[in-house]
Structure 1
């Protein structure tokens, strides 16, 4: 258990939060939410003993194995898979001891170490690391490549895989999806749902939080509170709480106004002086209720495009790639006013390359790109953050777009992206990734495009900004084409999906759940190219389907066992949440409810134990199925 008792944390003179009291139990999956700078990462630092609470007491059991994702990756010569295996520190220690025992020809020690190695899964560790790398987007060939050969984003994936490789009691993940594409996000989500330890997750991906978490710790207005349920449940509870708080605030303000009016009218009259004095004392004793604050710091919208030619853009029979390497063949696409297109496809299939060709950032290897005369493209990609002038301010960047605009108008516009006061004149260099992304988006919105091409626009954006962007895009009157690993954004702003896979661009007839199923089928079929007449092994599709049917029949008992175990986990999770909600009621701790409290605590202990066993059964069933496959 992780126990927080009246915890207060400050950064310098600034209070992040105080009075935080809650307990995180073994196996719970906690989502940490709150505005950037609210104190989420500081709470992680407290758990890792990198800082201490300014007030209160934090405690946890000794010798917990805590895993987290390293922020830096040295340019090591070791292979990617060896780097990931380093995450299992106990495994590496045993391997070193084995090497020493072999050198000493100590047979007894060797036997003991082999038993210990088997106990920690040492003989399957290589396969486990390989599955992690594959799930996070690495090919088999890349597993043997040196760490130093990977770019920054791929090194962050290696760090994530290394943290997942650790057989940890507690796993801390801070924005783990930032450097992932949609396929890897789906894999990580499934992995974390099955993770048997205690998870603390900072994420601005609503769908990700909803699927994984069973509790939310929300930090706002210098308070950190825990809520039972996933992110959607937290939003409902928070809305109800804020509504009640606002109602109580307004009622109290009416009472204060009434008493103050009496005091003002009668304090000078001798006959009423005592009553007036009584009300003054009542006002002094009154514990003021704070007004509820739910306003987002963001408020912006896309103005209607000045012109909307039809079609806006046409790509005809284009080959797309680099040099002699063709990634996408014979791609044709027409974008018309009002189109709202989401691009799906495996990592490396060519989604970003297609957007670059459409935006004019790179030429097609063949074919034609026809732009309408009045086409005005708004293009967003992560590399554009690097094009900002670091020594200049947000105000300066907008002034370069519109020399005639007044400073007041530009300040008002920047305020909608939460650049206010002195911030509009601050140099961009020390800005966070989220602040830089907001500035690039502000510049894009200001230019009033009639076609938006967005490549991962939500990276580094917090939940409030993602929501504001979704709302603005829903109301946007131009055409839109977007690549994003944020499924909530894709669901809320697109109505057509295109699949980029197997060298082709074609309509995807389904939703994001169907796409997840498609990905699973591709992996089982050996990553066969979409549209191919044969599988990678040369077997016809008809024979492949027959083999798949026979395979499903053979694996049915194992699949049923996995489903049964999964259902048991879900059942005990549901019972656990119900008991926690009952235990969260202050009335249960009154003297009249001692027996009921005792019963609930006993039930909770039984359910916690049953859940732990069910999760182990689930993992065992999954591993058995994986080995059979």
Structure 2
């Protein structure tokens, strides 16, 4: 396990917590590092949990589905609200709306969205985006007052013009060295388009974003970037690439200088204030900041860049609900193109107009919305038949094999596994050696990037190379870990056959647990 990435270790720890029989469960941001499939599974599991649940989460839809009380820490006090998170918003909004200044601030936000709708509703090329903003406006009028006292207030400046399409990918193959993750990719990113990427963890969503960003070259095919394209790319390594010894203000000033600008310090300070870095807070070394604060600094640098193509790979990890809401609102007014990977369903719903499905090594347009995708996942897990309707008891009976057949099939499967186990163990050992080397290389690159003088010594080519090397190695680590886990599932399947007939909830023998790479889980009986 020590060879796994932090994300996989988090998933294993979460699975272990769920498997234990308990009367009280404490969860702190359980959806971080989960894909949408796993989040939906976890949501249903928690909704059926019979014990007492305390959960800290920035996933508002998870909270709506699982909790009946909200404890809100505010101004060094604690207040309890009865109901879901949506109920909490409504109740708190009634209090905050009495504040005239807060109400005026909300009206400015509404006017900003309405202005976009009024400007672009009649334009065919912008009609879809206008409708998306209109939906967000309708929702904002109902819930945004609960966030009007947020310490965050920022927006995207109008991006520079560029050719349309901004970027074209034609018959590309993408991966890392000799490992291909995606093949025959065809994608044209239009100006103003808003794409959401759907697919399970490990399917290649981050690989696709890296290909679009240009941080990994195509293994085959063509990537064509339009004239005037300015890409803003947020992923976890952007946080790690900050100068941790410098302040948020100095990091921003350097980014401003790299753009050929010399913006006044007060203007830079005002901008950082919108990310809740007021006064002397903007002068603190980045290394003293929390994970969420570091992520806010990285987002601030990207927004200051004024990109016309924004690539976001799980941007809300480590952000609290207030910052998530501020980012969601800011993206409503953003006029450039967006490619988004996120397990935050609220962010995806309000940001994306169309979707791409990344699955089975391919990228295809998804003809539906997020609700359709969720329903499809639920249908596959609940044993829906090919017509999309629930199988009748007669159908289930007709499909059920006899006990004798089951025993015969199980025996044959065990024989096959016994024959293959040695080969699987050998492949696993090779992968373990590979993962060890890759993690050592990743640690070396991270140490280089964390060096105080690395970004300031003028070796721009070295910085670019180090960042690209990190992207490549991190991708290889993910691919190797996925292969290793697949082998472990195959090797352990026989020994776990009895236990796998009970799932984590102990109620649905056929439920599959995405937290454990597709294996079924049984709650511990001790």
Q: Same fold (TM over 0.5)?
A: yes
Matched, 1:428 2:274: no
Contact 1:193–1:212 (8 Å) recurs in 2: yes
**Pairs within 5 Å for 1:188-203:** 188-203=42-57
Q: Which is worse superposed, 495-504 or 512-521? A: 512-521
Question: Residue 379 of structure 1 corresponds to which residue in structure 2?
Answer: 233
Q: Provide the secondary structure at the position in 1 that maps to 2:239.
A: helix
1:140 paired residue number: none
Query: Deviation string for 1:8-32 (max 9, x for gaps)?
Result: xxxxxxxxxxxxxxxxxxxxxxxxx
Displacement of 1:525 in angstroms is 8.7
Structure 1 residues 168, 525: closer, same or farther in 2, change over 3 A?
closer
Question: 1:622 is matched with which residue?
Answer: 508
* Aligned-residue RMSD, C-alpha: 2.8
Answer yes or no: is the 8 Å Cα contact 2:160–2:228 preserved in 1: no
Pair member with larger Rg:
1
Q: How many residues get paired? A: 360
Q: Does residue 515 in structure 1 map to residue 401 in structure 2?
A: no
* Higher RCO (C-alpha 8 Å, min separation 6): 2
- Go from structure 1 to structure 2 and tell me whether the alpha carbon gap of 1:494 and 1:549 turns closer, same or farther (over 3 Å shift): closer
- C-alpha deviation, 1:556, in angstroms: 8.9
1:298 and 1:418 in contact (8 A); partners too: yes
Shift of 1:497: 0.9
Q: 1:351 to 1:236 in 2, by over 3 A?
A: same
Q: 1:183 aligns with which of 37, 45, 52?
A: 37
Q: Secondary structure at the match of 1:167?
A: coil
Distance across 1 between alignment mates of 2:390 and 2:271: 59
Aligned equivalents of 1:420, 1:312: Cα separation in 2: 36
Q: For structure 2, list consecutive stretches of 5 or more residues without a partner in the other structure.
A: 102-145, 399-504, 513-519, 521-526
Task: Sort the Cα spacing of 1:150 and 1:167 in 2 relative to 1 into closer, same or farther, 3 A.
Answer: same
TM-score, length of structure 1 as denominator length: 0.54
Aligned equivalents of 1:547 and 1:239: distance in 2? 41
Partner of 1:236: 90
- Residue 516 of structure 1: CA displacement? 2.2
Conserved in 1, the CA contact under 8 Å of 2:354 and 2:369? Answer: no
Q: Deviations over 1:43-91 (max 9, x none)?
A: xxxxxxxxxxxxxxxxxxxxxxxxxxxxxxxxxxxxxxxxxxxxxxxxx
> Residue in 2 aligned with 1:419?
277
Q: How far apart in 1 are the matches of 2:264 and 2:99?
A: 41
Give runs of aligned pairs for residues 243-322 of structure 1, distance below 5 A: 243=97, 294-322=148-176
Note the alpha carbon deviations across 1:85-138, whole angstroms, 9 max, x for none.
xxxxxxxxxxxxxxxxxxxxxxxxxxxxxxxxxxxxxxxxxxxxxxxxxxxxxx
Q: Residue 349 of structure 2 corresponds to which residue in structure 1?
A: 491
Counterpart for residue 150 of structure 1: 4
Query: 1:524 Cα deviation (Å)?
Result: 7.5
Q: Which of 5, 18, 21 does residue 167 from structure 1 map onto?
A: 21
Q: Describe how 1:30-429 pairs up with structure 2 within 5 A.
A: 147-243=1-97, 294-403=148-257, 404-429=262-287
Whether contact under 8 Å (1:555, 1:625) holds in the other structure is: no
Separation in 2 of the partners of 1:547 and 1:222?
A: 51
**Any gaps of 5 or more consecutive residues in structure 1?**
1-146, 248-291, 527-543, 558-618
Deviation of the 1:226 alpha carbon: 1.1
Q: Secondary structure at the match of 1:423?
A: helix
Partners of 2:161 and 2:344 lie apart in 1 by: 30
Change (3 A) 1:381 1:554: same
Equivalent pair of 2:162/2:227 in contact (CA under 8 Å): no
